Chain A
Amino acid sequence: SQQGEEDPQALSIQEGENATMNCSYKTSINNLQWYRQNSGRGLVHLILIRSNEREKHSGRLRVTLDTSKKSSSLLITASRAADTASYFCATGDSGYSTLTFGKGTMLLVSP
Chain B
Amino acid sequence: NAGVTQTPKFRVLKTGQSMTLLCAQDMNHEYMYWYRQDPGMGLRLIHYSVGEGTTAKGEVPDGYNVSRLKKQNFLLGLESAAPSQTSVYFCASSPRASLSSVNTEAFFGQGTRLTVV
- Footprint of B on A, CB under 8 Å? 1-2, 30-31, 33, 35, 40-45, 48, 50, 88, 90, 92, 96-104
Among B61-69, B70-78, B79-87, B97-105, the stretch that binds chain A is B97-105
Q: Residues of B within 8 Å of A, CB-based: how many?
A: 29
Main secondary structure of the interface of B (DSSP, over half): strand
Determine if B108 and A43 form an interchain contact, defined as CB atoms under 8 angstroms apart. yes
Knowing A41-B110, A44-B108, A99-B33, the reply to whether A2 touches B42 (Cβ < 8 A) is yes
Determine if A88 and B45 form an interchain contact, defined as CB atoms under 8 angstroms apart. no
Determine if B45 and A30 form an interchain contact, defined as CB atoms under 8 angstroms apart. no
- Footprint of A on B, CB under 8 Å? 4, 31, 33, 35, 40-45, 48, 50, 56, 58-59, 90, 92, 94, 97-98, 102, 104-111
